[in-house]
Each structure stands twice: as structure tokens, then as C-alpha cells.
Structure 1
Amino acid sequence: MSLRKKWISGPAFNVFKKILPPLSATEREAMEAGSVWWDGELFRGKPDWSKLMAYGPSTLTGEEQAFLDNQVCTLLAMLDDHHIVNEWRELPEAVWDYLKREGFFALIIPKSYGGHDFSAYANSTIVARIATRSISAAVTVMVPNSLGPGELLMHYGTRQQQDRWLPGLARGTEVPCFALTGPEAGSDAGGIPDTGVICRAEYEGKEVLGIRLNWDKRYITLAPRATVLGLAFKLYDPDALLGDKTELGITCALIPTSHPGVEIGDRHFPMGLAFLNGTTRGQDVFIPLEWIIGGPDYAGRGWRMLVECLSAGRGISLPALGTACGHLAARSTGAYAYVRKQFGLSIGKFEGVQEALGRIGGLTYQLEATRRLTTRALDLNESPAIVTAISKYHMTEMARIVIDDALDVHAGKGIQMGPSNYLAHSYLGIPVAITVEGANILTRNLMIFGQGASRCHPYVLQELEAAANPDEQAGLDAFDTLLFKHIRFALGNVCGAFWQGVTAGRLNPSPVAGETAGYYRQLTRMSKALALCADVAMLMMGGDLKRKEMLSARLGDVLSHLYLASATLKFYEDNGRPADELPFVHYAVGRNLYLIADALEGFLQNFPNRVMAFTLKTLIFPLGKRYKKPLDRHAQAVSKQLMSTGGVRERLTRLCYVGEQSEPGLGQLERAFGAMLAVRGLEKKLADAQHDGTLPRKGTLAALLEQARAEGVLTETDIQRLLQADEWRRAAIAVDSFPAEALARQSHNKPDAA
């Protein structure tokens, strides 16, 4: 053993410490925060599919379902999103009162404090359902139930703080906001310039130990209406009043907005939506030390608190918004493609529209699947930081694709604002979801693989800890054991990847039989390829890999699509393997495999060591890259399902708010869709009569029906049904228009004619 350390482990230990710089305190806390879950299985090259299936499906309790069926439905009927966004630019007071009274701000607060204590899945489902009706209302509900004072208090607050604040937050008498982001610190929360200094000052007539704060924050949701401000800042103790450290680190405190010196500034106007968002500032504001969340013992521990809460909250709210876009786009676009006609045909008969519908349906299926699997992890008391980062990034990006496709199909219908437009506000909301809780560029390029490589790898984080051990001998001893385990692991990946490549993964076991079995085998194959590439990249590039974001992000993409595909397959199994869902599975997982191979190819094409790149390509793809984009027949099968009532369309879009049949928007569209499907046999009679020359091929519908009556092609009842369906169809495809003066600026706001 001593010879091994002298000639192998010792030199490797020294090299390892040079190529991998020591972790900073914030990096270490980010790495250690949360837990490793299914992402660890995928990263290590041999996923245990039985473990995935054993997690079980996401389900709602009777109480949670009742809340959706009653309180949520009542709320949806109260919302007029056109007026909320375009006229009032805020939720009406009646809606605010209802949200508070029914505990919409207390979904995650324990029942002992007056909250609902709902599951992460229920929280996500409620937000998604509201978002199909109003993004502004959904954001208003989601923020108090995500990263904010409520969650931080529940996890870290003292009993006194919990008793003080949680009942008011549950009743809605206290409205929270959390101020993290500032002009110079967005995704780099560790770089916040806002400061607090430990000092003594007078509070309520007594001299107490406290903090003098200075801050300038922006983009703070609910700030304009908040009564309690959660604040993140860097804490300093220059006079060593708490101990021997002068720089304590990021700290979180709770401050009533009525406290002297707290300034709630102007509102922002995010993408023209109506949820409250604004600024807050404070200069030389003194607070008692007890206002630190968790009390004085948590001074300087705020970064860990924030990272842990973000790692959970990131998997609920924003993925819920992305899923809502999918539900809305799939339901509305399928119906619209059927009722909208061009050249005498439903536009859904054109293959270009079918391609878009296939993408909308396939991605919506994956959005719902991923939402369920991610919240399942949270409800199992996991806090998987990498999984939630994957969910936030990819689900908001998939929503962007889906809503773009929906608008492409709707064309002019989708861009004319008004009560009949059910897509525009979701389109405006997607950039908000993409930007907040870690901008997507940062999430993809730094978090998913940057943290995942060390967090999910079976040995790297322990090796980093060994290298950072101040006791050189103890560090070497630990490193020696880990190194040879790592070598065995790496050699197994080399052999395994080549075997997988030669056999094309066909000999891998699958937990199921049938059409989806091959997907499990191919995902296992690509999991092994990821393990090999990650090991080689970290070994050869060391700390430089973190700075080579384009390379590391591609490996993150591989991990992400492995997770998304896993979620999709599990969703299909949880649903009982219904035949009408198979095209959606084929489309979504086929797309994942294609993008995995594409990401690996991009990684290998740009890997700086060309010899190693060629070697890796030979090991992983000895017979070439065989994965293809989703097949046209799968896209067409998906589009056909979305243009049919009931079945998978109804199940997949069940969260979508439809409203009354006479209501502008989806209500009118659904009425027309059902009516047009009901008369399709009559339309075929007309078409057949036109084809055989009994009826003319051109002319208005009224003239055609009149001649069909005369020729005995249709009965009077048939004609009335067709006329009614067409009337509803025309109402559904109509767009809003307004008198010129209704949209004109007030005269005093107009520029002078000169």
C-alpha cells in the first residue's frame, strides 16, 4: 500500500490538486446542497430502471382534489385576464381578498399555522391550472409558495419567528416578498453588493445588538404590496461583536415593510403582464439581530439556505408555468387546426400544420411527465438540485417551442389582442419564466453539468474533499482509496461503452416488453456514454472544463435528455400503457435520443484533444450515429389525436381552463370544435356530391346548402346543423376589434403635431 501511495496515488494526488482548484465556500455549499436522486443513476452509466418504477405515480389527496374542484374553479371564473392585463394592470381587490381568504398563499404552510400543507405535486397542479387562465394570477399565487419568507421560515426559522409570521402569511394578512436580485447581481446571487454591519444601536428605547443595512433590489415580485420583506445581504462584523470573523457571508433576514427606512419603490412592468413586481431600497436601516431568519446562529448561513430552497422551489413553480403553456397550446391548437379552413379544407389536414401539432403534442406529453416525476421526488423528501435545474431550464424552453408553434398555426388569430385571444399572455409570460430563478443560459451552461459532474459522480466530490483536507496525510489516504475505485469505474465505462456501441445496446435489459422496451436499452447505452465522456473530460481538462461552457453544457444536455426521456417512459407506465399515448411517447423519447446523440457529437467535434475525441467516438459510436429525428408518422398520429375529442387529448390537457361555451376564447373554440366534429359526416356528403358533379365545387356555403336541399343531398335538419356549426366556427376563428378611439392615446399624451 505504501508503494502504491508513493508511486501512484501520491503523484496523482499532487496532479489532481493542481488541475482541480479548491472549492470556494459558496461552491462547496452549492455542491453539497440538496440531494442526488435519479440523476445520479443516469450519470453513473448503469441506471436501475426498477428503482425508477418503484417511486410510484404522483397523486392528489382528497383534500387537494377538492381544492382544485372548488376554490381553484371559483378563482378561474373570477378572472378576466384581458381586463387584468390591458386595463387594470393588477388583480382586482375581490380576487386578492379571495386568494387570501381561501389560503392560496398558504399552500405549503403547515396546518398547525393555518395553512394547507399541500404536496409539491398539488402545489404545481394548482399553479399550472391557474396559469392556463391567467399568467398574472398564477405568478401571484406561486411566489409566496416558492422561494420566500414562508419556505425559509418553515425550514430554518426559530419557533418564535414561525409563531410570529406563519399564521399571518397563512391568513393573507401578511403578504411576503423576497429581495435577492439587484442591479449588479442577478443569477450571481453570491455577488450581491447589499451589506449589513453588526453594531449596537437603539431599538424600541433600548440599545441592542443588531445590523445596519444598506440595499438596492429590483425585480422583486409582490414587493409593491408586501408587508414583510425577506432580504438577502452580505454580513460583516468589523468590531468582532459576534466572534473572531469579520466577514460572515450571505445572511437572510425578515423585515416588516413598515419598519423605519424600508423603501418600497416603483413598480416594474414585466412583459406587459399584471403581476406586481418592483423595487425596494434601504439606507442605514437598523434591525435587531433576532430578525435574522433562524436567529443569530444563522448569521452568514444564508447562501446555503437559499441554494437548498431554490433546489426545491425551482422544480415546482416555473415548470408548472411551462406545463400550463403545453396544456393550453395542445388543446387550443388541435381544435383550431380542425375548425380553421383554408382552400376549403381544415388546416389540420396540411402536413406542415401536422408537423407543428406533432411537436406541440409530443412536448406537452413530456412536460406533464417531467412535472410529475420532479414533484414526485420533492414529495419523497428529496431535494435534487440537478433534477430541478434540468426541469426549470428544459421545461421553460420546451414551452417556448410549443407556444411558438401554437402561434404559427393560429397566425393572425394569435396576435390580435383581446378577450378572444387565449395564447398571447402565455407567449408574453414565457420570457419571464426563462429569466427568473436563474437565467436559462446560466442554468444550462454552469449548473446542470457544472454541479452535476461533481455532485452526481460517485467519486469526484469525495476526491475534491480529500484534496482540500488540511491534513495532507489524511487527504492522501482517502484519495488513495477513492482513486483506485475511480480507475475501476472508468475502465468499466470504457469497456461498457464499446460493448454498448458494438451491440447497439440491443442486449441491455429492459424493465418492460413491447414497443417502448428499446428505449430503455438505448437510454442505458447513452448513460454509459455520458459516464465515459464526463470522466475523460474531467481528467484531461480539470478546472478548465468549468470555463469551457460550450463543451460542458453539451454533456449537461445529455444528462437532461436522459432525465426527460426517463420521466416520459415512467409517465406512460404510470398511466397503464394506453395505446393512444404511444405516438406521444415515440415522438418525445425519439427526439430525446436524437438530441443526446447530437450533443455528444458536438462535444466530440469540439473536444480539444483530437486523438482522444476520435477514440471516444470510436468507443461510443463504432457503427456511426444511428438515432433519427421523430418520424413523420408519429407526428401525424399525435396531430390526429389532438384533433379528436376525448381520449388522450382530454387526459393530456385536463388542466386547461375552458370556460363557458359562450365565453370568448377557449369556450367558443371548444363549442365550435365539438359541433364541427359532429357534422363531419354531413360535410363528407357534401364533398362526395361535389366530387360526382351533383353539386358545384365552388360557391358560398349558403348557396351550396340551398342546392343540396334542392337535390335531396341533405335534409332540412342536416342543413340547420351545418349552419349552426359554421356560425360557431366563424365565431371561434374571429378576432377582436375595437373602435379607434378605444385604443387611441389620451390627447395630452400625444406628441405635438409639429
Structure 2
Amino acid sequence: MAFDAEIRQALIEQVRRFVTERCIPIEAKVGEEDEVPQDVVDEMKSLGLFGLAVPEEYGGLGLDMETECLVALELGRTSPAFRSVAGTNIGIGSQALVLFGTEAQKEKWLPGIASGDLIASFALTEPGAGSDAGGLKTKAVRDGDHYVLNGTKRYITNANKANLFTVMARTDQDEPGAKGVSSFVVERDTPGVSVGVPEKKMGQQGAHVCDVIFDDARVPAKNMIGKEGEGFKVAMSVLDKGRLHISAVATGASERLIKEMVGYAMEREQFGKPIAQHQMIQAMMADSQAEAYAARCMILDAARRRDAGESITMLASSTKLFATEACGRIADRAVQVFGGAGYITDYGIERFYRDVRLFRLYEGTSQIQQIVIARELMKAANAGEL
């Protein structure tokens, strides 16, 4: 649904208060303990953050894309681990069901996803297939009214907490590439499904990724999302939306880093005056602000176009490429402005520097976004639409 301005603003202010009062004060604690406290998770549930993108009839808030991005910008202003707790429920874990699920599938799983009582994960990446989603090896072989799944998924966000997985598996072993892939909902307690221990990561402590292993896991045929062979279409549709969401989170982080950078530069004195009065520091602050503003404008334009029913594949990739690369540059400048303090854990800037590095990798690397953009440009040219 499209939210009217008053309701939208009230929601954004509510999320902003939650981020400011509950999340920011415990960022260092979450980083050290690699866990978001349960009382904070419970508060996220009560705010409806797990159901931002689930339709109202299934218990969610049913936000339009523009409002979801505005909320994601606010969530981006704190450690990404907080957003990640609900992130797979908002995006890649739930959207295959929202976009392609049957009515029975939606009624069975979406209310629990919206409330946060069910955690949903998206299992696409494998040890030998990530960017090349068409190269995945996990098999799903039909056996009566079930499919038998075998294979390993890697770096699956929230896998250790998940109750449900949206799994991409190859149903046609003779069809190479994307065409032989189908999508399934697999419940965590299915015999033959196991989850590895959380990986140790460069950043984003408190957000966990694990292997998910399928060993003769029998999944009911009615759990297929869409039709057989449509898995790649399902995955790409989910990623289009997710790329805008991640762009907004990254830009929220950029805006937080600019705030920290400017605040420090106005207090820290060198050569008899605050470093914010030195032109070289001003240039770093100004470049950061210009890039964050450009990213925000791209996000909201692409979101509005999606809400209007336009195809936004090229715009989503353009936005994700620019916003996440800009965030990386802004984080680097923030460390530079803080100088030696930027390298010290107590100030929290080095943690952000590590945390935001992931934005350029997941939901499609920057290089994959470039390939998508170029492909869409050539497609438009061939159709005489460029």
C-alpha cells in the first residue's frame, strides 16, 4: 500500500527513536559479543520491523518500496547487524513467497514471518556458485509427491536462526545454466537439513552466516515456489527489490558516518583551529555529502518507479553499484578524518569501516551490477528504447 505522508513520517520517527535510543548505545557491545540482545529483537518485532514488506492481509505492514527504503535509511544509521536480524524476513527470505507464492503458501508462512516468530533465509550461494547463480549444483530430484534435495549452500545469512529457507536447486539435471533451476520453501526441521556453525567474519558481528547442508532432504512438491524451472526468475525478482533495500541501508550508514566525521572535525584541533576549518578536511566532508545525497536521490527515484509498476532492473543495479561504492569511499574518508582515532576500536569508526565492506559483495557484487547494467543497456538499444 502507499502510505500517506503523516503515517509514513510517524513510522520513520518511531524507527529513528528506536535506532537512536536502543541500538546506537549498544553498538560496541553487539560487536564484542557477536549477538543482538533478545530484548532488542523483541522490540523490533513489536515495531513490526520483521513484516515491513509482507502484505497487510498476512499480518505485515505492507509498505510500498519508497517507504521501505525510507525505513531502511533509518536502520542504516546504526550497526548493520541490527537491520540484519530482520533483514532476511523483510527481503530475500520472504519476497519469493510474497511475489510468487500460492495462496496456501502465503497463508501458512507469511504471518509468522511478519511477526518475527518465523525467521526466513535465502539459500542461493554455494561453494562453487554465487554470482553465477545458473551454475549451482544443489539437486532436487522428483520422487512421488516430494523432491529430494542434496547439496550445500554457503554464507547463508541468519541460517542458524532460520525456521524456513527459500532454496534454489536444480530440478532439471540435463538443462545447464539458469533454466533448470527451481525454488522451494524448505522447513528447518526437515530430516536431512543441517546448519553449520556461524562463520568468523571481517565485520557485521551480531549478524551470522552459515553453511546449510541438504542430505536426502525430502521436501513436499507443494513447497515449490512458482513453476518448475522458474527458480532463476524468482531469485532475480527478489534481488531487484533487495538491491534497493541494501542501497538504502548503505546510504543510511553513509549519513551516519558523515555525522560522525563532521562532529569530530569540528572538535579536534590542529594548528590552532578545528580541523573542519582546513580545506583538505572540508573537501572530504563535501565529497561524502554529495555522494550520499546522490545515492539517496537514486534510491527514492528507483523506488517510486518500482511502485509505479516500471521495470527497475537496470535502475536497481545502478543504485546498488553507486550507493554501496560511495559508502565504501565515505567510510574510508571517515577513518582518514578521525586520523589515528579512526583506527582505534573505542571510537567505533573502524567497526563501521569493516561492516560496510560487505555491502559491495552481497545481493550481487559491484561487478555483477556492472554486468547487469550493461546487459540492460544493450537490451534497451536493441529494442530502440535507449
**TM-score of the alignment, normalized to the shorter chain, above 0.5:** yes
Q: What secondary structure is seen at the aligned counterpart in 1 of 2:170?
A: strand
Q: What secondary structure is seen at the aligned counterpart in 1 of 2:154?
A: strand
Counterpart position of 2:353 = 427
Counterpart position of 1:364 = 292
Work out the CA distance in 2 between the residues paired with 1:61 and 1:351. 39
Q: CA deviation at 1:60?
A: 6.0
What runs of 5+ residues in structure 2 fail to find an aligned partner?
A: none
| Structure 1 residue corresponding to 2:239, chosen from 286, 310, 332 | 310
Q: CA deviation at 1:413?
A: 2.1
| Structure 2 residue corresponding to 1:280, chosen from 212, 218, 225 | 212
| Structure 1 residue corresponding to 2:313, chosen from 385, 393, 403 | 385
| Structure 2 residue corresponding to 1:328, chosen from 231, 252, 256 | 256
Counterpart position of 2:157 = 221
* Counterpart residue type for residue 310 of structure 1: L
Q: CA deviation at 1:237?
A: 7.7
Counterpart position of 1:171 = 115
2:227 maps to 1:290 = no
- Alpha carbons 2:75, 2:249 under 8 Å: kept: no
1:437-457 CA-partner distances (Å, limit 9, x unpaired)? 11112222x211123211x22
- Alpha carbons 1:177, 1:220 under 8 Å: kept: yes
* Counterpart residue type for residue 226 of structure 1: A
- Alpha carbons 1:127, 1:142 under 8 Å: kept: no
* Counterpart residue type for residue 272 of structure 1: G
1:629-681 CA-partner distances (Å, limit 9, x unpaired)? xxxxxxxxxxxxxxxxxxxxxxxxxxxxxxxxxxxxxxxxxxxxxxxxxxxxx
- Alpha carbons 1:175, 1:226 under 8 Å: kept: yes
Q: CA deviation at 1:165?
A: 0.5
* Counterpart residue type for residue 374 of structure 1: A
2:38 maps to 1:110 = no
- Alpha carbons 1:64, 1:118 under 8 Å: kept: no
Q: CA deviation at 1:70?
A: 2.5
Work out the CA distance in 1 between the residues paired with 2:257 and 2:272. 24
- Alpha carbons 1:59, 1:121 under 8 Å: kept: no
Work out the CA distance in 2 between the residues paired with 1:145 and 1:210. 28
Counterpart position of 2:191 = 260
Q: CA deviation at 1:189?
A: 0.5
Q: CA deviation at 1:422?
A: 4.2
Work out the CA distance in 1 between the residues paired with 2:288 and 2:141. 52
Counterpart position of 2:68 = 123
Work out the CA distance in 2 between the residues paired with 1:237 and 1:373. 41
Aligned length: 379
Mark the structure with the bigger radius of gyration: 1
Counterpart position of 1:97 = 42
Counterpart position of 2:127 = 183
| Structure 2 residue corresponding to 1:132, chosen from 77, 96, 120 | 77
Q: CA deviation at 1:185?
A: 0.3
Q: What secondary structure is seen at the aligned counterpart in 2 of 1:164?
A: helix
Which residues in structure 2 correspond to 1:174-573 (within 5 Å)?
174-200=118-144, 209-236=145-172, 249-273=180-204, 274-294=206-226, 298-316=227-245, 318-418=246-346, 421-444=347-370, 446-454=371-379, 456-457=380-381, 460-461=382-383
| Structure 2 residue corresponding to 1:70, chosen from 8, 14, 18 | 14
Counterpart position of 1:144 = 89
**Sequence identity (%):** 24
1:35-69 CA-partner distances (Å, limit 9, x unpaired)? xxxxxxxxxxxxxxxxxxxxxxx986333322222
Counterpart position of 1:602 = none
Hey, which bits of structure 1, 4+ residues long, moved more than 4 A? Answer: none
1:95-114 CA-partner distances (Å, limit 9, x unpaired)? 12222233211001111111
Q: CA deviation at 1:218?
A: 0.9
1:540-580 CA-partner distances (Å, limit 9, x unpaired)? xxxxxxxxxxxxxxxxxxxxxxxxxxxxxxxxxxxxxxxxx
Structure with greater helix share of residues:
1
* Counterpart residue type for residue 438 of structure 1: G
- Alpha carbons 2:3, 2:64 under 8 Å: kept: no
Q: CA deviation at 1:248?
A: 6.7
Which residues in structure 2 correspond to 1:715-754 (within 5 Å)?
none
- Alpha carbons 1:174, 1:226 under 8 Å: kept: yes
Work out the CA distance in 1 between the residues paired with 2:11 and 2:282. 37
Q: CA deviation at 1:271?
A: 1.7
Q: What secondary structure is seen at the aligned counterpart in 2 of 1:278?
A: strand
Q: What secondary structure is seen at the aligned counterpart in 2 of 1:214?
A: strand
- Alpha carbons 1:60, 1:122 under 8 Å: kept: no
- Alpha carbons 1:223, 1:264 under 8 Å: kept: yes
Work out the CA distance in 1 between the residues paired with 2:42 and 2:324. 30
- Alpha carbons 1:231, 1:254 under 8 Å: kept: yes
Counterpart position of 1:81 = 27
Q: What secondary structure is seen at the aligned counterpart in 2 of 1:213?
A: strand
* Counterpart residue type for residue 263 of structure 1: S
Q: CA deviation at 1:410?
A: 1.0
Q: CA deviation at 1:425?
A: 2.7
- Alpha carbons 2:248, 2:299 under 8 Å: kept: yes
1:390-414 CA-partner distances (Å, limit 9, x unpaired)? 1111111111111111211111222
Work out the CA distance in 1 between the residues paired with 2:266 and 2:124. 47
RMSD (Å) for aligned C-alpha atoms: 2.1
* Counterpart residue type for residue 118 of structure 1: L
Cα gap change, 1:60 to 1:142, in 2 (>3 Å):
farther
Give me the TM-score of the superposition, normalised by structure 1. Answer: 0.48
Counterpart position of 1:154 = 98
Work out the CA distance in 2 between the residues paired with 1:309 and 1:300. 16
Work out the CA distance in 2 between the residues paired with 1:372 and 1:125. 8
- Alpha carbons 2:173, 2:180 under 8 Å: kept: no
Counterpart position of 1:667 = none
Cα gap change, 1:170 to 1:59, in 2 (>3 Å):
closer
Counterpart position of 1:242 = none
Work out the CA distance in 2 between the residues paired with 1:169 and 1:289. 21
Q: CA deviation at 1:161?
A: 0.5
Q: CA deviation at 1:151?
A: 1.1
- Alpha carbons 1:227, 1:256 under 8 Å: kept: yes
Give me the TM-score of the superposition, normalised by structure 2. Answer: 0.93
